[in-house]
A and B are shown apart, each in its own frame.
Chain A
Amino acid sequence: MFEEKDFTIIGADAERGEAFARKPVTYWGDAFRRFKENKVAVVAFVVLFLLVISVIVVPILSPYDYTKQDLRSRKEWPSAEHIFGTDSLGRDLFTRVFQGGRVSLAIGIIGAAVVAIVGCIYGGIAAYFGGWVDMAMMRVVEVLSSVPNLLVIIMMSLLFDSSSVSTLLFAMCITGWCPVARLVRSQMLQISASEYVMAARVMGVSPLKIVLTHMIPNTISLIIVNITFRIPGFIFSEAFLSYVGLGVQPPSTSWGALASEGQVTLSFYPYMMFFPAFFIALTMLCFTLMGDGLRDALDPKLRR
């Protein structure tokens, strides 16, 4: 059954011993693969993508203008003509919801981006210089984050005596960057204590280069995840402020403002509040689920 030549010693095959059984994967390729595996996160991503597209497209394509009042068709229930119905001034709610979505999403995304950028720079500087610079900068952060957020926003809108979108954004960002700065600082401190940074220092790599090649690439995924989780917070704050009347003012509108308008007639025309509220909830849920997926995909501790 066996041939004799099967039993001659040929010895070890070192090449084969070191060969790779798996295909090469880059960090981002691997993260993308893991994100794809998470079905919930992918669905959330697709929903958000569609939402962003429709928020841009719907108000343009819609036959109705979001400010145009049509007093003949007031408070109409959803129908083929007005998909989400009309409001008490006869404006098409479908158009208004997506127009409001523009404002809500823009505030969420821009707000989170601003906060992330400011937080990164601030936290990065604190971590990089360390010592008393770090001490002073972090104390400032502590003071700022101890001020109640809502109070600042209310004061700002009173101070500027206007409630434009940009004022609102400014007011929300003024303390919003503090948690990001803390996060970035602690992550950077952790990386700078790692052995690969020590190796780079021993080899005489300049501090700036270490920041660019080690610190930032290793912090970026954390920041991406953080932004994703922060967007719904902004959307919700805006909705809340608009709801209590401190946010977006007519004629411009947002989901929060729409929900506030709808609330007045809630018992008779519940659809007026339902649609904006539904979109607020949907968006927040999707960002949170996507954030979960991203965190799992980008966390190097979970790779195996």
Chain B
Amino acid sequence: MSNNNLYEIRNLKRYFPAKNGKVVKAVDDVTFNIARGETFSLVGESGCGKTTCGRTLLGVYPKTAGSILYNGKESSELSRAEQKEFKRQNQMIFQDPYSCLDPRMAIGTIIQEGMNVHYDYTPAERNEKVRELLYKVGLTADFASRFPHELSGGQRQRIGIARALAMNPSFIVCDEPIAALDVSIQAQVINLMIDLQQEMGLTYLFISHDLSMVRHISDRIGVMYLGSLVEVSASGPLYEKPLHPYTKALFSAIPDIGKRSTKERIRLQGEIPNPMNPPPGCKFSSRCPYVTDRCSHEAPQLQELEPDHFVACHMAAVLNK
């Protein structure tokens, strides 16, 4: 079982220091696995820690506590050579197609940047590689000499993907890759990502708040709220039968295209609490319609309520009878 997991994340914590000595618990005691070749998605609203979680995995931010096992090895204890290999195998795609490409660099140079660190290609091979990659993401060789400001958002996003692919990675953190794109372009990028996954056996950590896209692309999903995972499950069961009250509310907000909505929408009261002082006990207790006394004293742990379907809620068993 364990050798099928590319990543095993145990009790991962990432705190940021804030003003007047407080800490923001951006990622607070999160545990999950990512299997080889799957798409694991983290969903949740802004400020829930999903981006921080992805960045901590790749070592952009050092972790505060917990362990990240990559191929069974603690990722912070790799040797220098292993670290270099780790940086080749793990890539990232960003949300903002405008700020993720250096405005002063030609597209060709951008794509080559990482390639030059890890591979000893001759200049001719490099150019050939760039052409190949551009073609792979559905663009032409013309683009190599262009500059980012000449490209549309969708084209830029594909350049970002080409840059990641140049490394022959095995794992890509996709941080809201489609949030800034138009609907018709979103589909282009998602299709490309699915194709590449099947072709190259990639594993994705897909971070998004677009629930209908997440459902389409994910094998398994983790729902985050204020730095904690509240529910983890395979995508199908999660959408069919969400167990956590937050997940239920979140999913009921997905609009049905083309019909006046008939389904009962669960409207959450209030807003997401300030992450600097979350409510005690269960973090969702301040907005939960089913809150009990116990919820505001004791933080619930993830428990396997149904096979491979984990939920962190004291009331889950009662509510989902």
Contact = CB atoms under 8 A, between A and B. Distances in A.
A–B contact via C-beta, under 8 angstroms: yes
Interface of A: 15, 18, 20, 22, 24-27, 30, 194-196, 198-206, 213-214, 217-218, 300, 303
Interface string B90-127: 11101010011111111000100110011000000000
- For the complex, would chain A's binding face be called helix, strand, loop or mixed by DSSP majority? helix
Given A30-B149, A202-B91, A203-B167, 13 more contacts: A18-B155, A20-B150, A25-B150, A27-B103, A195-B96, A195-B99, A199-B114, A199-B160, A200-B114, A201-B60, A202-B90, A203-B87, A203-B117
A200 B114 CA distance: 7
Which 3 residue pairs of A and B lie closest in terms of their CB atoms, listed nearest first? Answer: A203-B114, A204-B87, A195-B100
A205 B101 contact: no
A204 B117 contact: yes
B155 to A, nearest CB: 7
Contacts of B297: none
A221 to B, nearest CB: 9
A205 B99 contact: no
A300 B105 CA distance: 13
A213 B145 CA distance: 17
Nearest to A29: B147
Interface in B55-107: 55, 58, 60, 83-84, 87-88, 90-92, 94, 96, 99-106
A186 to B, nearest CB: 17
A300 B102 CA distance: 11
A194 B99 CA distance: 7
Given A22-B150, A24-B150, A204 B114 contact: yes
Contacts of A205: 113-114, 117
B248 to A, nearest CB: 34
Contact of B145 (A24, A30, A202): A24
A217 B104 contact: yes
B11 to A, nearest CB: 24
A199 B96 CA distance: 12
Contacts of A204: 83-84, 87-88, 114, 117-118
Given A198-B92, A199-B92, A203-B117, A218 B104 contact: yes
A199 B163 contact: yes
B96 A303 contact: no
A218 B91 contact: no
A112 to B, nearest CB: 23
B151 to A, nearest CB: 9
A300 B103 contact: yes
Contacts of B113: 200, 203, 205, 213
Q: Which residue among B91, B104, B117 has the maximum number of chain A CB atoms within 10 Å of its CB?
A: B104
A199 B91 CA distance: 8
A196 B100 contact: yes
A213 B139 CA distance: 25
Nearest to A24: B146
Nearest to B151: A20
Interface string B120-150: 0000000000000000001110100111011
A199 B94 contact: yes
Contacts of A206: 117
B320 to A, nearest CB: 40
Contacts of A198: 55, 60, 92, 94
A199 B55 CA distance: 11
Nearest to B169: A203
Nearest to A216: B104
Q: Which residue among A18, A300, A303 has the maximum number of chain B CB atoms within 10 Å of its CB?
A: A18
